[in-house]
Structure 1
Amino acid sequence: MHYAGIDIGGTFTDLVLYDAGNGDVHVHKVRSTPSDPGQALIQGLVELTDRAGVDASDVVAVLHGTTVATNAVLEHRGARTGMITTEGFRDVVHIGRHQRPEHYSVMQDIPWQSRPFVERCHRKTVSERLIPPRGDVMRPLDEDAVRVAARELREAGVEAVAVCFLFSYLDPAHERRAAEIVREEMPDAFVTTSADVVPQFREFERFTTTSINAFVGPGTGRYLGRLSAGLDAAGIRGQVGIMRSNGGLASADAAAERPVTMLMSGPAAGVLGGAWAGSLIGRKRLITFDVGGTSADIAIVTEQGVVEASARDSQVAGFPVLVPMIDVHAIGAGGGSIARVDDVGAFRVGPQSAGAEPGPAAYGNGGDQPTVTDAHVALGRLDPDRFLGGRMQLDRDAALAVIERLAGEMEMDADAAAEGVLALVNATMAQAIRSRTVQKGHDPREFALVAFGGAGPLHAAEVAAELEIPEVIVPPHPGITSATGLLTSDLRYDGMRTVFASERDIDFGDLGRRLDELEEELRGGLRRDGVRDGDMRVERALDCRYRGQGYELRVPLGASGVDAEAFATFHRLHRMEYGREFAVPIEVVNMRITVSGARSKLERVPAGSGDLGAAVLDRRPAVFRVDGELRAMETVIVDRANLSPGNQVDGPAIFVQEDTTTVVPPGWRARTEDNGVLVLTSIANGG
């Protein structure tokens, strides 16, 4: 049986094919097709199976990380969306909260006001009202008003409708009945309710999350439909699994119902792949460093696992998103980031990117702006003859031409300009890592940096040096680590309910029964995916806070179940997070359950068995900064595929392989481990 992991990036689509029988792994990269991302996926998978000598019918699962929903939000290109909400609450999604994105700016952009997902004219109100704490009906739903609102939205050309009522997390009956009516009146529309997407208090965030779900729903559904049809036409009829923001897979049908859960699909898979690479050599404290063509994504892994975003930090493009997601921090810094001198004479790199089309000038596809990739080529750090394993020839002359033009604007020589591009982008990346470590109480010197993506290993050693990170881990196939991460993940479904109970009057028995009901609901989803109960794993947690606080901490529940031990755990977590605890009553705000379904996963990549002498392909000059001066130094070019465990190379060296290039600067040492992992350490620090 073969499993395919496929991640679509801005520049390249990455593919991995895993044979669960003998452990063989085959990798492939193709240029992305932004106009129809599924085209590159299908084309690349057909090419990969042909190269591997595998019949398409032997692919039993296609596991996919996609940016379709993300791009729809970032580019604000989604469906014309309507909303039906409680009378008097039409403008919740406009007003937001008292917190402003930038507290002291009078010129700031407030995205939910400047770029609403639902225009005000498409927000309809109806009479209905529930009241806390139990969700009693204060005012029954006016079904006739819902029907009128649905007809008005249909006549306005609305394609998707979000039904968002006040306090619906206490009882979803009104929302679900309204959705039934809307579907009767608008049978072709995508209809979603807040109670089904995020049954949680905080109306603004709940309404906004549901609006996003509706906004991206039709486009995501069409994409998944085309993808399934294209795979079927290619003879690939394995089950399609979609990576969600929480780091778990879901069936294509489940993902299409709640596309808002896919907003961090690709980056989440990369974090899982980075954590897997660290585990191969026993490292548990990791900073994942995923640099692609347009962005760099940073996440943290500790002994407790991958760090998830809190409710106050869960956002995409400035919009709050209340769904479980891995805490991934993205910045506009990648191989395609454009270097320029701005209107006031400041030197900038990114966030603008040359993307996949036309791409960097070195790609020979019409790009005429200097990029980070062009700087690497100009300095000799990318071998024009061995890019993508020799399948793609880089145009060094074109790269030099754009760098020289930039150098002219900056009144310096070309090498200094190119090195300046790399120094600035490295500093930007280092600062992003500080924001996720130092500013959150982590010492980066206690972590290893896992570098992957098409450009991560090009920058990793220099970024690590700036942060005094002692070790860089480069996965076996770093350029396709996100695709690899898909093969290391399980099916996963998350559920939560708002409960609001104080430790002084909480009914642990009732809370346990409610958790049991939610667990059974989630188990049902996995059973529909073909997972046996014996292959399911359940995690339970409570969101708790001190009375008067505005945000919660996640408290995992142990084997003893729901009891007062949860409160002692909360005190400990609060002390770890904020440095102190309080003698104040604790509130339980939400209950959460995660149910995972185990599946066949990639365990390791076979190590090479070559010879270091044979692995050395060439020696050629490359430019590095040493002791404050730029020097053209003889640099060894190494074929990573021909290395054996224990091989060691001192920098300057460049390791080439099909999916990326790893730069080992002067003063650094690279060694290979038993499982194909490459480890970079500073010689001065005992490496």
Structure 2
Amino acid sequence: MTHPSDPIGAACIGVDVGGTFTDVVLADDTRIWRAKATSTHGELGRGVLAGCRLVAERAGTTLEELLPRVVRFGLGTTAVTNTIASRTGRRVGLLTTEGFEDLVPIARGIRSAHDGWLVPPESLVDPECIAGVPERLDRLGHVVRELDVAALLVAAERLVTDHAVEALVVSFLWSHVNDRHERTAAEALALKFADLPVMSGSALLPVIREYDRTQFALLNAYTSGALDGVEALARELAELGLPHPPMLVHSGGGVISISEGRRVPATLAESGPAAGVVAALAVCEATGVSDAVTGDVGGTSFDVSLITRGEPSRRTRGDLMGVWTALPMIDIDSVGSGGGSIGWLDPLGILRVGPKSAGAQPGPACYGRGGTEPTVTDALVVLGYLDPARFLGGEIELDRDAAVAACARLGASTGLDARRVAQGIREVAEAGMVRALRTRFAERGFDPRTFTLISMGGCGSLFSAAIARELHIGRVLVPELASVFSAFGAATSDVRRERTQSVGFAIPGDPRDLGAVVDNLVAAVRADLAADGVPAEATSITVGAELRFAKQRYELPVEFPGGLDTADQLAARDRFVADYSARYGEGALVSGAPVEIATLKATGVGATTRARLSAQPVGEPGPAPVHSHRPIFGGSPSSPPETPVVRGEDLRPGHSITGPALIDARDTTVWLPTGCTARLDAYRTIDVRISL
């Protein structure tokens, strides 16, 4: 058996830079340490290094001694997410086919609700920064009008000189079928404007739908300056002794090199939540769960994702913080119900929570950093769910009086005292989480009673049992690393690369034609993985497709586990019809309707050194020792005035807890309402059973 003071061997580090805290996980073959440091916006490296130094200290060493032993450094960063959310990206110029300059402003007629109005999605490029270029292909890729390179360069010069654009995008009509014009244009622009990023839609994502493809290129150009802080951090880590550059977590739940992140920075959006889902997959594997829903309560949001048959739900396009784009990613929904979400009254005097967040600075009022508005965290302090003296293991002492004062100020105009306001904030936040989960199940046609809820985030476990009961979910899993789960995911994600190509073949299509496309995709994915340093023997590649009924606009993903012959295509069609029926109802089916393969996709996974969950011996079953009691206000009517409190460090595998009870761990607190029971398993996961 290892001892905490035993020397650290080959180690993995995972980091997740969140809106409030930077989480760090350090793991060797048998042990895991974790730490939280305050995020430093605008100085990403400072917060990351502070967290790494703290976790090294907990492992009994220094960062300088630790880094040379690190064989894997995974980093999930909000740098790209923050750039999109704050709309602080580069000024982008778009060069498109002459006559189609309004493609992006029209936005395919997509409209969303904003302040009671239906408005187009926010554009990443100003209309005056869009220029048409003489060129044209037909839908088969045949040249109708040759590209005028001279006119292209004149238009680009005007955008740079007159409109001060800082990045250029070229996206032509039908370029996913024939990319010759677009490739020539991108090469000419890169040669003339060597100091500017130049992005090509067909090079980044050669799929049908000009708007989606163009938006993806625009998003990459817009966020092309977001990784400057990451590269500076990589240099500093190398100077401190890190032998391998950090790998960046992307929205698909894998990791890529910094150079690949620089090429397609938009894929790093939502990397933290995606890493959390990857970590949840490890818990599913350890506990034998195949269908799960993740609920991640962070500082600013509540993130939801589904895992079915052991695989996360994915999407290839949709809304990303108000921007519609094609973006292959784990399908995650977010609502503004995080620990830092602010409670407020709308013009009708109705209590709302979020989406505005107190963030890391000034943070919730109880942090004592100047915050005055009540947040979800403040409400949890007022109600007794959080012990002010033990927040983050006692590293930060919360100011309960400040939390009470913030809640009281909000309630002054309505005649409510601080405790009733706090209870209202908690209930509104919880209702938002329930609504997000219920919506996700309804949209996918799944029965929540067949799923397990995996609780993630620092304060997620204070809500998870109540959420599960509301949705008739009978089981909740709270991993030991719940509060730093995205950081653990960053340390356990494999290298993952995807290549996609639109095809538009009716099923059954000619296997030779499909095979030629797949061969090209597979070869490109192998080259991508090799460029990321993955040896051929550690590579696995799967082939999938997006299928749709002929002439419909939207597709569903289907894997091709066998081959591409007629029998395989017909089997894929049957799986598509079954999934379509489950999602939209049998009444949406038309008997005998033709199905077509809209796109083919090759996904490559490179197995790397990574952190893993380790099992411990399970002792004799028995109740966990009660350390103390504290009052919980606003719980169920049957809750006693003084609720038993169990400390996380006193728990051993095999221990059981019966609600009502609180479990106080170093960096999270678990609330077990009356009627719930929990048991600590071999992986130190709290397995909660909900009485329905």
Q: TM tier, shorter chain?
A: over 0.9
SS in 1 for 2:283: helix
Q: Distance in 1 between matches of 2:678 and 2:480?
A: 13
Distance in 1 (CA, whole Å) between partners of 2:374 and 2:308 is 38
Deviation at 1:529, TM superposition (A): 2.2
Change (3 A) 1:614 1:586: closer
Letter in 2 for 1:592: K
Aligned twin of 1:71: 82
Structure 1 letter corresponding to 2:138: I
What does the per-residue CA deviation read over 1:157-202, in whole Å, with 9 as the maximum and x for residues that have no partner?
2211111111110122211211121122211111110011111110
Deviations 1:333-376 (A, max 9, x none): 11111112222211111111111111111111111111111111
Residue correspondence of structure 1 range 570-649 to structure 2 within 5 A: 570-578=573-581, 579=586, 580=589, 582-607=591-616, 616-627=626-637, 633-649=641-657
Q: CA deviation at 1:662?
A: 1.3
After superposing the two structures, state which structure 1 stretch, 222-231 or 65-74, moved more.
222-231
- What TM-score comes out, normalization by structure 1 length? 0.94
CA contact (8 A) 2:547 2:576 kept: no
Aligned partner (choices 432, 436, 440) of residue 436 of structure 1: 440
Q: Does 1:196 align with 2:203?
A: yes
- Range 50-59 or range 331-340, more displaced: 50-59
Equivalent pair of 1:81/1:160 in contact (CA under 8 Å):
yes
Q: Report the counterpart of residue 261 of structure 1 in structure 2.
A: 267
Q: Which residue of 2 aligns with 1:205?
A: 212
* 8 Å Cα contact 2:648/2:666 also seen in 1: no
Residue 489 of structure 2 corresponds to residue 491 of structure 1: no
Q: Report the aligned-residue RMSD.
A: 2.1
How big is the shift at 1:47?
A: 2.8
Equivalent residue for 1:466? 470
**Aligned with 1:146 (options 145, 152, 158):** 152
Structure 1 position 34 matched with structure 2 position 34: no
Alpha-carbon deviation of 1:610? 9.5
Match in the other structure for 2:390: 386
Deviation at 1:323, TM superposition (A): 2.2
Aligned partner of 2:248 in structure 1 is 242
Distance 2:568 2:284 in 1: 33
Q: Does 1:295 align with 2:304?
A: no
CA gap of 1:608–1:72, structure 2 versus 1, over 3 A, is farther
1:11 equivalent in structure 2: 20
* The one of 555, 558, 563 aligned to 2:558: 555
Answer yes or no: is the 8 Å Cα contact 1:448–1:469 preserved in 2.
yes
Shift of 1:543: 1.9
Per the TM alignment, residue 568 of structure 1 is displaced from its structure 2 partner at its CA by 3.5
Structure 1 residue 614 displacement after superposition:
8.6
Match of 1:513 in 2: 516
Distance 2:660 2:170 in 1: 59
Tell me, in whole angstroms, the C-alpha distance in 2 between the residues paired with 1:529 and 1:414: 54
Deviation sequence 1:588-617 (CA, Å, 0-9, x none): 221111011111233314548899889543
Tell me the distance in 2 between the aligned counterparts of 1:624 and 1:606.
Answer: 37
Contact 1:285–1:301 (CA under 8 A) maintained in structure 2: yes
Query: Would the aligned equivalents of 1:430 and 1:466 in 2 still touch at CA under 8 Å?
Result: yes
* Shift in CA distance, 282/581, structure 1 to aligned 2, threshold 3 Å: farther
Aligned twin of 1:277: 283
Question: Which one of 648, 659, 681 corresponds to residue 651 of structure 1?
Answer: 659
Residue 416 of structure 1 corresponds to which residue in structure 2? Answer: 420
User: 1:444 corresponds to which letter in structure 2?
Assistant: P
CA distance, structure 1, for counterparts of residue 361 and residue 394 of structure 2? 20
CA offsets, 1:84-119, max 9 Å, x none?
Answer: 1111111111011134335x997223223xxx2111
Structure 2 residue corresponding to 1:569, chosen from 569, 572, 576? 572
Q: Quick check: 2:206–2:502 contact (8 Å CA) kept in 1?
A: yes
Whether the 8 Å CA contact 1:154–1:186 is kept in 2: the answer is no
Contact between 1:555 and 1:566, CA under 8 Å: does it hold in 2? no
Using the alignment, how far apart are the partners of 2:684 and 2:127 within structure 1?
55
Code of the residue aligned with 1:80 in structure 2: it is: R
Cross-structure match for 1:96? 107
Give 1:488 shift. 2.5
Give how far 1:154 is off. 2.7
Q: Is the contact made by 1:126 and 1:146 (CA closer than 8 Å) also made in structure 2?
A: yes
Deviations 1:666-687 (A, max 9, x none): 32222101111001223x45xx
Partner of 1:667: 675
**3-state SS in 2 of match to 1:179:** helix
Paired amino acid for 2:192: E
Aligned counterparts of 2:349 and 2:640: Cα–Cα separation in 1: 29
Matched to 1:46, the amino acid is R
Task: Quickly say closer, same or farther: Cα 1:672–1:33, change in 2 above 3 A.
Answer: same
Which AA in structure 2 matches 1:146? Answer: L
| Structure 1 residue 665, shift from structure 2 partner | 2.1
Measure the CA separation in 2 of the matches of 1:267 and 1:301. Answer: 14
Q: Percent identity?
A: 35
Contact 2:284 2:310 in 1 (8 A): no
2:115 and 2:366 map into 1 onto residues whose CA distance is 40
TM-score, length basis structure 2? 0.93
The answer as to whether partners of 2:341 and 2:357 remain within 8 angstroms in 1 is: yes
For 1:84, what is the secondary structure of its paired residue? strand
- Matched to 2:311, the amino acid is G
Deviation, structure 1 residue 278: 2.7
- Tell whether 2:137 aligns with 1:136: no
Letter paired with 2:592: A
Contact kept, 8 Å, 2:15 with 2:491, in 1: the verdict is no
Return the alpha-carbon distance in structure 1 between the equivalents of residues 449 and 595 of structure 2. 35
**Secondary structure of residue in 2 paired with 1:400:** helix
Gaps of 5+ in 1: none
Query: Does the CA contact (< 8 Å) of 2:208 and 2:502 recur in 1?
Result: yes
1:380-414 per-residue CA deviation (whole Å, 9 max, x = no partner) reads 11011111011111111111111222333332333
Deviations 1:618-648 (A, max 9, x none): 2222224324x8x662122222132111101
Task: Please say if 1:525 is aligned against 2:528.
Answer: yes
Quote how far apart the aligned CAs of 1:499 are: 1.3
What do the CA deviations read for 1:110-150 (whole angstroms, capped 9, x no partner)?
A: 223xxx211122112211111222x1222111111122122
CA distance in 1, matches of 2:47, 2:270: 20
Whole-angstrom CA distance in 2 between matches of 1:439 and 1:591: 24
Query: Which of 117, 124, 129 is residue 117 of structure 1 equivalent to?
Result: 124
Q: Which amino acid aligns with 1:294?
A: T
